[in-house]
Amino acid sequence: MVFVARSELDLSRYDAIVAGSGPAGGSVAEGLSRGNRKVLVIETGGSEYRAEAQENYSAVKGGGHYVGSHWSSHWIRMLGGTSNIWGGWCAPFSERNFDRWPISRSDLEPYYLSAAQALYRPPDFLTYRKSVLDQFEYRAISDEDPLRYSDPVKFATFPNDPNVHVLLEHSVGALTASQDGSRVEAFELYGVSEGNRELIELREEQALVLAGGAMGNAQILLASNDGTRASIGDEHGQVGRYLQEHPHMGVGKIICRANALIPSMDEGFGGIRHALFPSDSLYHEAGELDVCLVLSEASIDSTDQTERYLSEEFGPGARAYRVSVMAGRAENHGSRAEGFDPCGWPLLFAQCVVDSDSLEAVDFVMRSLGSSLLDSNVGRLRFDVERVYSDIGGGGHTIGTTRMGTDATSSVVDSDCRVHGYRNLFIAGSSVFATGSCVNPTLTIVALAQRLADYLAKGI
Ligand SMILES: Cc1cc2nc3c(=O)[nH]c(=O)nc-3n(C[C@H](O)[C@H](O)[C@H](O)COP(=O)(O)OP(=O)(O)OC[C@H]3O[C@@H](n4cnc5c(N)ncnc54)[C@H](O)[C@@H]3O)c2cc1C
């Protein structure tokens, strides 16, 4: 018996209580269970997708490049969370992505390996790099079947693991701090269908892990305010401040010689997407905006005079690739919260903008790619400059609302993902990312969650 009803729960028996059942919460639960710890996962959604559950949680309003339902449609409330619709692209962060983190890639290295395994990926893509052009190297982005954390076979932890209980259609609401402010002593348990609220006390050695997604984690903390002091974790006004999206743009086409840009990979890699990453020096020249260029196989347009000419120039095996950019940040220039959503959660306010420095950096990296192709006479780039500025999409990736750091005045969690000052309160998910990366976040979310589970399994 693993899915439990509220009436049969003895909340004191768990070593940890986790809010949210997506990749972050699921991985914390799985890791703790492996350490023989008992876990309760509390999930707002049910076992099925329900449109009305989505609509009631509007989560974010605001403007900038991402408006309207962009935010709520990218945050799924059901068992398994947003993993029910994710695309499955996985790549580790580069060393340089950790420049402003209190941990480095080497701290995550073993967890990247186990995260790849948990997501059913052959590990070779984690380290494979090949220099293909002056200033650019090739890396593979893993693109296997996306693991749904609601899948009873591939993610068997929720339906079958006796150490992990799951309470559906309940939310972790406002938290209460102890008198001395050193721990969370209670949380509100909210029954979504019944509308009942109950205050649950935490035992001294019980850990509470927030894994409600980048927006959900900020909401829980901001809601934890009894009116007498700052919200829990927000003593320095940092919660919800650094929300970022992950800009995507389709910007060009390459015609090049056969085998010039994409190495022949053995089958051990599984499904992959091909990407070019700027060298460290180009990254610094581009103002430290992390950018990668994803190449997708395309056909040569024989009705186009230029493409026809280039395909003849580069030989019978000439190849064409569409180029799309994934860039590291669209920063929030808005305030943090404004009013409440229909479920009573603080409504986050965001104004995520791809600023002019970022647009210029993408423009610069693309022009550098064009020069490298020309100088090496490997191929030519058709760069659709206008689309950099006019065709900005997002990955539905949200990060940074409870970021990691050593200084409590400029961050929310420490390098163990513990909320500064609260010895039993932890956060899992991309809200703790100190900075983003050009690559998709979930592999790193899972790696960090496994690392947190290892830490918690030793006891707090
Ligand atoms: C269309 C789309 C495509 C994507 N493709 C990719 C991709 O290819 N590669 C990649 O790396 N990433 C991708 N992502 C992002 C990926 O889905 C997220 O990074 C990942 O799901 C985040 O995991 P999480 O567990 O932190 O949050 P979520 O998966 O959002 O799970 C959070 C869960 O917490 C629950 N919850 C929230 N608040 C509470 C509360 N107070 N109490 C209890 N439960 C609560 C929610 O109901 C939800 O089920 C994609 C996202 C979208 C929308």
> How confident is the model over 104-163, as pLDDT tens digits?
999 999 999 999 999 999 999 999 999 999 999 999 999 999 999 999 999 999 999 999
Say yes or no: CB of residue 27 within 6 Å of ligand 1: no
Sequence-distant (≥ 6) Cβ neighbours of residue 97 within 8 angstroms: 105, 290, 328, 435, 436, 437
3-state secondary structure of 161: coil
Predicted confidence band of residue 324 (pLDDT cuts 50, 70, 90): very high
* Mean pLDDT computed over 287-296: 96
Residue nearest to atom 49 of ligand 1 (CA): 81
Ligand 1 center–CA 109 separation, angstroms: 23
Q: Which two tokens stand for residue 445?
A: 């979310």
> How confident is the model over 199-228, as pLDDT tens digits?
999 999 999 999 999 989 999 999 999 888
Residue among 202, 200, 154 at smallest CA distance from 182: 202
Ligand 1 center–CA 73 separation, angstroms: 11
- Is residue 95 predicted with pLDDT exceeding 60? yes
Which letter does DSSP use for residue 404 in this model? B
Predicted confidence band of residue 51 (pLDDT cuts 50, 70, 90): confident
Of 46-50, 233-237, 265-269, 312-316, minimum mean pLDDT range = 265-269
For residue 71, the model assigns a pLDDT of 83
Say yes or no: CB of residue 77 within 6 Å of ligand 1: yes
φ, ψ (nearest 5 deg) of residue 454 = -60, -40
The rounded mean pLDDT for the chain is 93
> How confident is the model over 397-428, as pLDDT tens digits?
999 999 999 999 999 999 999 999 999 999 99
φ, ψ (nearest 5 deg) of residue 191 = -85, 115
Residue among 444, 348, 379, 393 at smallest CA distance from 108: 444
CATH of 6-88+145-241+398-457, one of 3.50.50.60, 3.90.15.10, 3.30.70.960, 3.40.50.10800: 3.50.50.60
Predicted confidence band of residue 267 (pLDDT cuts 50, 70, 90): confident
For residue 28, the model assigns a pLDDT of 98
Say yes or no: CB of residue 397 within 6 Å of ligand 1: yes
Ligand 1 center–CA 79 separation, angstroms: 10
- Is residue 316 predicted with pLDDT exceeding 90? no
Of 145-154, 164-173, 263-272, 440-449, minimum mean pLDDT range = 263-272
What is the best residue among 442, 445, 446 to mutate for testing ligand 1's pocket, by most ligand atoms within 8 Å of CB? 442
Q: Which two tokens stand for residue 400?
A: 């940074």
φ, ψ (nearest 5 deg) of residue 210 = -90, 120
For residue 359, the model assigns a pLDDT of 94
Helices (H), 84-140: 105-118
Say yes or no: CB of residue 433 within 6 Å of ligand 1: no
Dist CA 122 CA 270 (whole Å): 6
Sequence-distant (≥ 6) Cβ neighbours of residue 113 within 8 angstroms: 123, 126
For residue 134, the model assigns a pLDDT of 93
Say yes or no: CB of residue 224 within 6 Å of ligand 1: no
- Is residue 393 predicted with pLDDT exceeding 80? yes
SS3 content of the chain, % helix, strand, coil (to 5): 30, 25, 45
- Is residue 1 predicted with pLDDT exceeding 70? no
Helix axes 105-118, 23-34, angle to 10 degrees: 90
Q: What percent of the chain has pLDDT over 90?
A: 79
- Is residue 59 predicted with pLDDT exceeding 70? no
Say yes or no: CB of residue 328 within 6 Å of ligand 1: no
For residue 56, the model assigns a pLDDT of 67
Say yes or no: CB of residue 379 within 6 Å of ligand 1: no
φ, ψ (nearest 5 deg) of residue 114 = -75, -30
